[in-house]
């Protein structure tokens, strides 16, 4: 394994780790659908939960 391979692997592991940490924090704060940019902010979400749940 070369130095370049090691750097690439480290960057991929870092990106995956940060993405996992983001999902963990979002779920812990109560977001229902982490990937939705409109989660709980659209008008249909008022009082009925997240608007993304109807898309599934």
Burial class for 8, CB neighbours closer than 10 Å (0-12, 13-18, 19+): exposed
Cβ–Cβ contacts within 10 Å for residue 49, how many? 13
pTM for this model (two decimals): 0.61
Tell me 40's DSSP state.
Answer: T
Q: What is the pLDDT, as a whole number, of residue 3? A: 94
Tell me the three state secondary structure of residue 11.
helix
Q: Are 8 and 16 in contact (CB under 8 A)?
A: no
Domain count for the chain, please give it. 1
Which residue segment(s) compose the domain that 40 sits in?
A: 3-55
CA distance 52 to 56: 7
> 10-40 pLDDT, tens per residue?
999 999 999 999 999 988 888 777 777 666 6
């Amino acid at each position: 394994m070369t130095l370049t391979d090691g750097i690439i692997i480290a960057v991929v592991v870092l990106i995956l780790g940060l993405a996992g940490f983001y999902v963990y924090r979002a779920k812990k704060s109560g977001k229902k659908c982490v990937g939705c940019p409109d989660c709980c902010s659209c008008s249909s979400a008022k009082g009925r939960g997240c608007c993304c749940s109807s898309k599934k």
